[in-house]
Amino acid sequence: MSAFSIHETVLLDEVIDALQIQRGGRYVDCTVNGGGHAEAILEECTPGGQLLGIDADPVAINAARERLKSYGKDAILVNENFKYLENICARYDFRPVNGVLFDLGMSSIQLESPGRGFSFQEDAPLDMRFSPRQTLTAADIVNTYSESELSDILEKNGEEWRARQIARRIVEKRPIRTTIALARIVTEAVAGGRGRIHPATKTFQALRIAVNKELENLELALKQAVNLLGSGGRIVIISFHSLEDRLVKEFLRRESRGCLCPPAVPVCVCGHIPTLKIVTKKAVKPSLEELGANPRSRSAKMRVAERI
């Protein structure tokens, strides 16, 4: 898996089919990026429908605004983190909704913006923030966290089995200010361990996830998305690495079940009521045709559920 799958509009036809878009319906794109999925949704739901697009990255919002300008007030674009999903929808009186989309891949807008520090292909400061309003940067983590804290981040967020030796080398080489410097230090730490992907790939993924609190924010937003859906509304999530997909799969499974009590409890005391029906028993992956046109889509997995 590449942590840096460039975020072209993946699984476009599959997303449109999964959302079962209605003319006049209302839809939320929680990760609008450059507006690829949003444009296709608007084509199907207008006239009469609306789309609310959210992105923490102001550069992405500006790109989407330019792409969707012909839709006028039918395209509402908000520069916020999707962890505030319910508050954003309340602000625009945008509920209930017919569908919610999360497309969690990294954007080419982010990767190709100079100075953002998401990629080690070009030298840049260790930033990795989705939004300039955030305070914590990758440089802060790399240069101030303890060896054990760094190791935990690399293991948890990057599934990096060499986390301890990488963390040790990072601490030895501090201060580290740029992407190329960090990539070189990680490569030195795992000398002889280069395989299918660059040795620093998982480290960069882990730091990016930590800086932006991606997994925590996703879990918060998924719960809110279910609350926003009207009966029969669909939630569609595209993930690009195993940590996201595992979180999504467990969330959908939990919300599709009744009792969540441990097996040892003889009588249900949790009172949990199922809110979703899982539509995709297995994750939907890109077709061979799409993989041929966009090899970076290979990590994409789409899961779908319906509000009951």
Report the distance separating Cα 60 and Cα 207, nearest Å: 21
Between the alpha carbon of residue 166 and those of residues 104, 171, 175, 274, the distances in Å are: 27, 9, 15, 43
pLDDT band at 121 (very low <50, low <70, confident <90, very high): confident
pLDDT of residue 193: 56
Q: Categorize the per-residue pLDDT at 191 as very low, low, confident or very high, splitting at 50, 70 and 90.
A: confident
The dihedral through the CA atoms of 225, 226, 228, 229 has a sign that is positive
Residues 74, 244: Cα–Cα separation, whole Å: 30
Look at the pTM and tell me if it is higher than 0.75. Answer: yes
What's the mean per-residue pLDDT of the chain?
92
Contact at 8 Å (CB) between 162 and 190?
yes
Task: Give CA–CA dist 270/284, Å, rounded.
Answer: 32
Quick check: 214 pLDDT over 60? yes
Confidence check: pLDDT of 102 > 90: yes
d(CA 27, CA 98): 6
192 burial level (CB within 10 Å; 0-12, 13-18, 19+): exposed
Share above pLDDT 70 across residues of the chain, in percent, rounded to a whole number: 94
Mean pLDDT, residues 201-214 taken together: 96
Helix/strand/coil percentages in the chain, nearest 5: 45, 15, 40
pLDDT reported for residue 3: 39
* All domains in the chain, ordered by first residue: 12-109+214-307 (3.40.50.150), 115-212 (1.10.150.170)
Question: Is residue 5's pLDDT more than 60?
Answer: no
